[in-house]
Every structure is written in structure tokens, then in C-alpha cells.
Structure 1
């Protein structure tokens, strides 16, 4: 009678298998026995289909091998509980189960991965040297030593970091904590010197062999108001922001006296300059544009106004902590002749230069006109020559029967004669006794009354 259930025995078992094991790798050897006989002792073993393992019958009876049937991936599933079922063929059938625990061991098959790629950081200038300014972070899906990551900055063959403009930065400019990825700046950033730069950080695991990956880090330096305005004009010879301007007394209101020019190395609001008039001898005479720095007269000068005025201009930026500079302008009111003396000399020089230009221009125009007239005369002469040739050909046409006189040439001895008259026929002869000076023509009278003979 089928009164004995199959018995499952694990004869050899490795509870840990590397994740890079090939399909068909043996995990365990299983022996199945049933004390019944015949069909009651015939046992069939099976395992679930949703696992990457399978039972393979052995050459020996009632022996099975537990093998891998597909690649393993520890990062997806690191362990399996496999239930093996043994069932006999008796009626009614009896069965038994046995569960084994299989662990998939890690292999260094994953590179470190950074949380961001690329990294972008904004750092305000004037940071403390040696302090951490930002950090990068990578993780590894492996475990144990395969997931232990160290960081270092990737440097080229010259051991330098390059900024985006291609300039070289010292290797000691930045450093990285190899354990946690904190980036340290070993000197203070200066926006006016360096606005942006780029470098790469490498993360390497501790596996065998080690795997690594790198990430690009973009750093933008943010400006802060650390530069005071610089006065460009007025500046005297000793370097102080002071200048002298002379204007004629007869100028009207709105006359531009001068313009205070300045710049700030900062940007944005930190570099936006405003001008203000701090001190002036007469507030009714001069006005200052707060945005452009232009100084203009507010009214005309009178005889009672002083001849010299001192203006103190304050130039300040719009930073949170505003920085400023001052300039002094001395305005001297002079008589018109004195004010325009220098300008007259300059105007005379410009006039002489203008006269020279006019002279050369007249020569050029005259040359072009002469060449044009010569060209017209040559064209007319060529046209007349062509007309004469055409007329001669027309008069010598043998078939012409008009009323114009006809000419022929006649030679007697060393002399050459030309006979002119109406069209002659071949029968025309020289009259006898005329000493060869009278040509007798046939009588061809017409209404036009042509001559009938020509005396040579």
C-alpha cells in the first residue's frame, strides 16, 4: 500500500552563489527516496517556475541537481527561498516538500553613479580659504567593499585644472575629501578675476578590479559688492579726481559743462552708479544728471556771479553695502574771447586741412573732366571718319544713276588728273585738238543741267 511519503535529502549544498554564475551552475544535489515499491515508490520532483533555478535529473536514480537556469542579478534579488516538492505516483498520491535558502553573493559589476550629472554650483566670491564650498556624491549598487567609494579630482598631464576660457589654474586651487566628496577651495574666489570654471571629479569603488566613473562640475562665481567706483574723469596729473573746466560767461541755460565718467568692476546692482552733487558754491547755477554724470548750467551767468565755482560730486554704487568715490570739478567762468581762443586755433587748423582737401578734390575733378572731353572728341573724329568712307563707297557705286557728279582719275605722263562731271559712259573720249585737256561726253541733257565737258 502507498503508505509512505517521499523523503527529500540535500546531499550537497552551497547556500551562496555568485551573481555572475553562468546558467547551469550547480547549487545543490538532492536525493529523493520512497520506501514503497512499484508505482507507489516512483517519485517525481519539481520546483517553482518563477525562479531562475531548475531541477535536473542525475544519472543515478532518484538523484537531482539544483542548477541555475538564467543569469542572476544580486542588485535585483539577493536571495531565494526555493521549495522542492517530491510526489509519488501512488493512489492516492503522497508528497513532501523541502525549502532551501539560496543567497546570491555580490560581484563588482556596477560602477559608481553620481546623483547629478553634471553638477552646477554657485559660489559667492570672497569665500574663506580651506573651507568646503560644495560637495559631490556618488553611490554604488554593489555591497561591501565593492560599494566603498573614494573621490579625487581628474587632472590632465600637466596637473592643472582648466577654466572655460582655456586658462590654466594651479593644481592646488581645489581639493576634494576622498571619503565624502566635499570640495575645498584653498584660496578665495575673486569674481573680477575668475567668473566661471569647470573640472571633473572621479569616483572609484574598492572592488577587484575597481570600477570608476567621472562627473563634470561647473562652478559659477557670484559677484558681491567689493569694488568701489573708479573715477575716470576728471583726473588731474597727480592722480586725484579733480579737474578744471572753462566756459564762456555768455552761455545759456542747459549748456554742457562737462561729464563725470566712472566705472565699477562689479556687475548688476553692485556696478550700477549714481551721481549726486554734494557741494556747490551756487546751487542755482549748475545741475547734475544722477544717471549720466553730466553737469549743465541751470541759467545764464550774470555780472554778479563769481568767476570760479567748485563742485564736489559723489559717485556711489547700488550694492547692499554701498561703496562710493568723489570727484571735484572747478568751473571757471571767462570772457567769450578767452574761452574761444583755443577753439579758434583748432578751427584754423581744421580749416587749413579742409582747404588742402578741397584743392586735391578740384584737381581730381578737373582731370576727370579733361579726360571726358578728350574721349568725346576722339569718338566724334572716329564717327566722322566712318561717315566719309561710307560716302566714297556710295559715290563709286557703278550702278548709281543719280544726278550727282561722278569722278574718274586720268594719268598723262607724270601728271595725274581727276575728271569730275555727270555720270559718264564708257564711250566718253578726249576731244581732239584740246591738248588732252577737254573730255567730250555723250549728250545727256537733263532738267538738272549738268555740265557736258570738263576742262582739265
Structure 2
């Protein structure tokens, strides 16, 4: 008799969530974010990124704020990990805020990891200066790429011109083999036949004329083949 046994492999929640951002250093994930004081409500401060090697429900991650200096100022999306401002800043708000985020999976026995975000509130001028510095670095990188591209195109153009010049010189340096041969023959009717052969490369050209004795040398006589054939 035959017996069918179905084996179901269940995932065990044995992997701790890993924080991708902020980047972990010395075993702790901590990042610093700067935000302008004139930022409006709903402004995206940063996003916590994490993953879990478990599959199914055990790999689902939830985010929560464990510690925050001002609960009325920052909010955290439970499913996406986005941190946003809940209101605008005032003059009485502190210049630095510390947020502790807990990331846990959805296993029966939840495993978790934490990340720390330091939010620095800067004046608009300082925020613009930081933005200008980042843009300057980006522009410098783009200018370097453009410089190398120009050098590459110039080199290709020079090589192309040199190739054309070499081809022209090779064509001009080819020796043209011209040879001529003067042939003299006498036809059956007593006329004198002159022909000149020209050779150019593999081609051969023959130019011939018939001169009647006693006539001008510039007179060209075409033999009458019909009379010759009737005489035969």
C-alpha cells in the first residue's frame, strides 16, 4: 500500500530586523538631519529603511516612536517609516531634537531593532548655504564629466582626420603604369597602318589609323571590308 505524506515547511521568526538607514556605526544606527525653521507642516524630514530576512508575516515590519523631545512636532508613519513635521516651527522650539525609532517584526515573539535620528533646526540662510554647497559639489562632478567627454571627442576627431590624410597620401603615391607602344603594319592593299597601344594598370587601349601612300598624313582612311569580302 502507498501512503502520502504532506510536509509543510513553516518559517521561524529567527531574524532580527536590520536597519539600512540611518547607517549603523559601532552597532548603533544613528543619523543627523537638518531642517529649515520655516518648514511647513507635513515636511518630510527623513525615512527609516529596514528589512527582515524572514518571509510571510514574520517579515512584516512596523515602525513606532519610542522617544521624542516634542510629540506635537514630529510624526512617524507606522508602515513606511517616514518622519514628517506635524506643525510649523516657532521661535520657542528647540534647535535640536532627538528621535528614537523602534522597528519590530510581526512574529509571535517579535524581534526588534532601534534607530536614532537627530534633527537639527537651522535658520533659512544656513539651510540655503548647505544646499548651495551640495549643488556646488554636484556641478563640479558634472563639469568633470563634460571635460573628459570633450577630450574623448577631440581625440576621436583627430584620429579620423589623420586616417583621411593617410588614405589620400596612399592614393596619390600609387605609381600609374603608363606605357605606349608604336606599331606599324602594312595592309594587303599596300596602305600603311599605324597603331599605338596604351597600357594603364591592367587595361590596354589601342588607337590605330591607316595612311594611304602619297596622301596627307592627317588623312584617316577606313578600309572597305565589303570590297575585300566580294573580291574573295
Q: What TM-score comes out, normalization by structure 2 length?
A: 0.57
Query: Quick one: distance in 1 between partners of 2:24 and 2:130?
Result: 20
- Equivalent position SS for 2:25: coil
- 1:237 is aligned to 2:25: yes
Query: Quick one: distance in 1 between partners of 2:27 and 2:15?
Result: 19
Q: Which has the higher contact order (CA 8 A, sep 6+)?
A: 2
Query: Quick one: distance in 2 between partners of 1:271 and 1:320?
Result: 11
Instruction: Decide which of 88, 108, 115 is 2:3's aligned counterpart.
Output: 115
Shift of 1:333: 0.8
Shift of 1:357: 4.3
Match of 2:139 in 1: 351
Residue correspondence of structure 1 range 378-397 to structure 2 within 5 A: none
Residue correspondence of structure 1 range 215-254 to structure 2 within 5 A: 221-254=9-42
Match of 1:370 in 2: none
- 1:319 is aligned to 2:107: yes
Which string of whole-angstrom CA distances, capped at 9 and with x for unpartnered residues, describes residues 219-277 of structure 1?
xx320222222222223432212222111212111111111111111111111011111
- 1:272 is aligned to 2:79: no
- Equivalent position SS for 2:125: helix
Shift of 1:347: 1.2
- Equivalent position SS for 1:222: coil
Which string of whole-angstrom CA distances, capped at 9 and with x for unpartnered residues, describes residues 411-435 of structure 1?
xxxxxxxxxxxxxxxxxxxxxxxxx
Query: Quick one: distance in 2 between partners of 1:258 and 1:269?
Result: 26
- Equivalent position SS for 1:283: coil
Shift of 1:282: 0.7
Instruction: Decide which of 274, 284, 298 is 2:72's aligned counterpart.
Output: 284
Query: Quick one: distance in 2 between partners of 1:310 and 1:233?
Result: 16
Task: Rate the CA distance shift 1:356–1:263 in 2: closer, same or farther, 3 A.
Answer: closer
Residue correspondence of structure 1 range 417-428 to structure 2 within 5 A: none
Match of 2:160 in 1: none
- Equivalent position SS for 2:23: coil
Query: Quick one: distance in 2 between partners of 1:344 and 1:256?
Result: 20
Unaligned 5+ residue runs, structure 1? 1-112, 123-220, 368-456
Match of 1:331 in 2: 119
Instruction: Decide which of 79, 92, 98 is 1:304's aligned counterpart.
Output: 92
Query: Quick one: distance in 2 between partners of 1:275 and 1:322?
Result: 13
Residue correspondence of structure 1 range 2-151 to structure 2 within 5 A: 114-116=2-4, 120-122=6-8
Which string of whole-angstrom CA distances, capped at 9 and with x for unpartnered residues, describes residues 297-334 of structure 1?
11111111000111111111111222222221111111
- Equivalent position SS for 1:292: coil
Task: Rate the CA distance shift 1:354–1:298 in 2: closer, same or farther, 3 A.
Answer: farther
- 1:295 is aligned to 2:74: no
Which string of whole-angstrom CA distances, capped at 9 and with x for unpartnered residues, describes residues 422-454 of structure 1?
xxxxxxxxxxxxxxxxxxxxxxxxxxxxxxxxx
Query: Quick one: distance in 2 between partners of 1:354 and 1:298?
Result: 40
Query: Quick one: distance in 1 between partners of 2:130 and 2:26?
Result: 24
Query: Quick one: distance in 2 between partners of 1:327 and 1:349?
Result: 29
Query: Quick one: distance in 2 between partners of 1:313 and 1:296?
Result: 13
Greater gyration radius: 1
Query: Quick one: distance in 2 between partners of 1:254 and 1:238?
Result: 32
Matched pairs, number: 151
Query: Quick one: distance in 1 between partners of 2:79 and 2:90?
Result: 29
Task: Rate the CA distance shift 1:259–1:115 in 2: closer, same or farther, 3 A.
Answer: same
Task: Rate the CA distance shift 1:247–1:264 in 2: closer, same or farther, 3 A.
Answer: same
Query: Quick one: distance in 2 between partners of 1:262 and 1:356?
Result: 34
Shift of 1:292: 0.5
Q: What TM-score comes out, normalization by structure 1 length?
A: 0.30
- Equivalent position SS for 2:28: coil
Shift of 1:354: 5.7
